[in-house]
Amino acid sequence: MTTDPRTLLLHVLREELGLRGTKYGCGEGECGACTVLIDGRPLNACLIPAGRADGARVETIEGIAGTETGQTVIKALCEQGGVQCGFCTPGFVASITAGGDLSGNLCRCTGYIKIRAAVRQVLDQIEPRPPSPPGPRRAILGPAYARPATVADALRLLATDAPWRILAGGTDLLVQHEHRLERLSLLDITAIADFPALTETSQSVVIPALATYTDLRTSPTVLRWAGPLATAAALVGGRQIQNAGTVGGNIVNASPAGDAIPALQVLGARIHLRSPHEARTVPISRFFTGPGRTRLAKGELVTHIEIPKTPPTDLIWFFDRVGTRRAQAITKASVAFRARRHESGLADVSIALGAVGPTVLEAPKTAAFLERGPLTEERLRHAADLLGREAQPIDDIRSTARYRRRAVAGLLLRNLLPLAGRPPCS
């Protein structure tokens, strides 16, 4: 079929192909009603341009229901009373078929007890299908939508006068422009084959810009050498968002609430950039100039992120956050922390705060205080108060400045009090 590659896959399925089982709910990747399987992975059809699906295996509820596994899932939901209005059911069926993780699916009426009972019944009867290798992705080089196959091709397009918007996972850009995508020129970089692989050298960990949150939370290399980043990735959205969202997109979007950024900052990450004329590297601590603003120059592309290795022996690190919900919610406040145990105290302390300033903030005063003495409950509580004062939050629709100051203080205590022999704060 032929369609505008910028059209969302959800609308192509429903309006052009008549496959109306996939539902439009929130349009933001939060409710999961539009979940489909693309090469076996659950993704939100409301956040996928049709051009990205070219060459992929797309399974909707209509196709899943015709399989033995799909029939088993549907039967279990019915037997356990996991269906009422049925609006969310196609998305649940897709997610259960892909392995049973429901973190990206919301139900407004049935409640989750019966749905979870159906999942338990199903997982006793079927083997979850592993994702399929992506099919061949042909390059698309149109005037309003381009999907280059190499970094060089992407840079050639960026060097033109066309107003390209770089599209990676799309979990921010497509939400921001949902009803006016036809006005954008989209440069979709997800088919580029020569980005560096997620790997490690003797000195560092190399993470490609297109590494998804799923890649980060499941990578043994990231778990070993960049624990706070793996934790942050596991807390971003549900599985559908984690399968789509990329670390490069999170960085370039430059939201103060971006969860990967505080973790990368305490890990000392460096951003590698390419243009047609040069390659350069910028420390992540210097990359952001304001909300939604970075030092990325016109014609440049983020290719990968490099994290220096620090021997994990005696390391203390964490990433923690608060939001309206544990998952599927924009962060109200977050804290990333890294330090080394040194005698009775800490050394080389690095703290980064998210969603409490115009950019991700460092907390040098709190870090210096923690380096100057033993880890006692009294000193940790003083450090938490100091951290709250270093935050620069504002009142907005999601929270108040006062709450955010208290939140970062509480997050620090929750994670460090056990070091002083006290149970963590709840």
Beta bridge partners of 42: 37
**To which residue do tokens 């390659």 refer?**
279
**To which residue do tokens 């002083």 refer?**
420
Give the per-residue pLDDT at 123.
Answer: 86
Cβ atoms of 266 and 173 within 8 Å: the answer is no
Query: What is the C-alpha to C-alpha distance for residues 264 and 283, in angstroms, rounded to an integer?
Result: 10
**To which residue do tokens 């990359």 refer?**
287
In the chain, the N- to C-terminal Cα span, in Å, equals 54
Give the per-residue pLDDT at 135.
Answer: 66
Residue 141: what residue type?
L
Give the per-residue pLDDT at 126.
Answer: 82
Query: What is the C-alpha to C-alpha distance for residues 89 and 91, in angstroms, rounded to an integer?
Result: 5
Give the per-residue pLDDT at 178.
Answer: 86
Both structure tokens of 342: 């040194």
Both structure tokens of 78: 């019915």
Query: What is the C-alpha to C-alpha distance for residues 408 and 375, in angstroms, rounded to an integer?
Result: 18
Cβ atoms of 297 and 303 within 8 Å: the answer is no
Count of C-beta atoms within a 10 Å radius of residue 171: 24
Both structure tokens of 183: 């006005």
Q: Is 216 helix (H, G, I), strand (E, B) or coil?
A: helix
Q: Is 273 helix (H, G, I), strand (E, B) or coil?
A: strand
DSSP tag of 146: E
Which residue intervals of 32-172 are DSSP H helices?
50-53, 61-64, 68-79, 89-97, 112-123, 151-158
Query: What is the C-alpha to C-alpha distance for residues 82 and 119, in angstroms, rounded to an integer?
Result: 10
Give the per-residue pLDDT at 52.
Answer: 94
Cβ atoms of 408 and 387 within 8 Å: the answer is yes
Q: Which residues contact 403 (CB under 8 A, 6 or more apart)?
A: 332, 333
- Give residue 221's Cα distance to chain centre: 18
- Give residue 180's Cα distance to chain centre: 24
Both structure tokens of 250: 């999170």
Query: What is the C-alpha to C-alpha distance for residues 307 and 147, in angstroms, rounded to an integer?
Result: 28
Please give the chain's pLDDT, 426 residues, in tens: 889 999 999 999 999 999 999 999 999 999 999 999 999 999 999 999 999 999 999 999 999 999 999 999 999 999 999 999 999 999 999 999 998 889 999 998 988 999 999 999 998 888 767 777 776 677 888 899 999 999 999 999 999 999 999 999 999 999 999 889 999 999 999 999 999 999 999 999 999 999 999 999 999 999 999 999 999 999 999 999 999 999 999 999 999 999 999 999 999 999 999 999 999 999 999 999 999 999 999 999 999 999 999 987 889 999 999 987 766 678 999 999 999 998 889 999 999 999 999 999 999 999 999 999 999 999 999 999 999 999 999 999 889 999 999 999 999 999 999 998 877 655
Q: φ and ψ at 275, to 5 degrees?
A: -130, 175
Helices and strands (DSSP H and E) totals, the chain: 17, 18
Count of C-beta atoms within a 10 Å radius of residue 45: 29
- Give residue 49's Cα distance to chain centre: 18
Largest CA distance in the chain: 68
Q: Is 357 exposed, middle or buried (0-12, 13-18, 19+ CB in 10 A)?
A: middle
